[in-house]
């Protein structure tokens, strides 16, 4: 684990935040009602994980750089972020309905929630940072848990 400024982490955060900013400017009708029922404990995990992952993404660098086999982890993380972008594109082109956020992407459940968590966990492996991996796991408990709850609520309607 090595501390430093990570341009790779900044790129990952941009890939994460750009579609979220577009979504935040035009949230789908009914989302506010769904989010009112979020589990408060999961919300705490999500918020702590968001801050921790954001800080870890930019504050750690990979001590092995782009050498093999560590490069595999970075490539895998980046491919997950590309799939995350694909999931958002599908959502935006599909009419921006609440249920569109939770549709599986092939075998990947709730991809808009699960893909960035998995990508940041793999980024933490590439950084060789247990702190970054733990930040992603905390985020995953909250973020994926909340989105699975949203999916269940929408399915129950």
3-state helix, strand, coil in the chain (%, to 5): 75, 5, 20
Task: Give the C-alpha separation, 1 to 70, whole Å.
Answer: 13
Whether the CB-CB separation of 142 and 46 falls below 8 Å is answered with yes
Which residue carries 């599908």 as its tokens? Answer: 90
Domain count, the chain: 1
Q: What is the pLDDT along the chain (157 residues), one digit of tens a residue?
A: 789 999 999 999 999 999 999 999 988 887 888 888 899 999 999 999 999 999 999 999 998 888 989 999 999 999 999 999 999 999 999 888 888 888 999 999 999 999 999 999 999 999 999 999 999 999 999 999 999 999 988 887 6
Does residue 100 lie within any of the structural domains? Answer: yes
Whether the CB-CB separation of 105 and 111 falls below 8 Å is answered with yes
Q: Which residues span the domain enclosing 135? A: 2-24+42-155
Residue environment code for 25-62, b if the CB has 16+ CB neighbours within 10 A, otherwise e = eeebeeeeebeeebeeebeebbeebbebbbebbbbbbb
Does residue 37 lie within any of the structural domains? Answer: no
Cα 52 from chain centroid (whole Å): 12
Does residue 36 lie within any of the structural domains? Answer: no
Q: Model's pTM, two decimal places?
A: 0.93
């Amino acid at each position: 684990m090595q501390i430093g400024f990570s341009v790779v982490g900044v790129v990952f955060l941009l890939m994460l935040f750009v579609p979220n900013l577009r979504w935040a400017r035009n949230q789908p009708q009914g989302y506010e009602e769904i989010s009112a029922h979020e589990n408060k404990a999961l919300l705490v995990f999500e918020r702590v994980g968001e801050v921790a992952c954001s800080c870890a993404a930019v504050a750690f660098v990979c001590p092995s750089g782009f050498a093999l086999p560590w490069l595999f982890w970075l490539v895998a993380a980046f491919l997950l972020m590309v799939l995350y972008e694909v999931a958002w594109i599908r959502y935006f082109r599909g009419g921006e309905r609440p249920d569109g956020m939770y549709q599986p992407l092939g075998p990947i459940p709730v991809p808009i929630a699960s893909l960035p968590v998995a990508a940041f966990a793999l980024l933490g492996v590439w950084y060789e940072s247990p702190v970054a991996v733990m930040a992603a796991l905390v985020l995953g408990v909250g973020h994926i848990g909340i989105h699975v709850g949203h999916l269940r609520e929408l399915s129950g309607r």
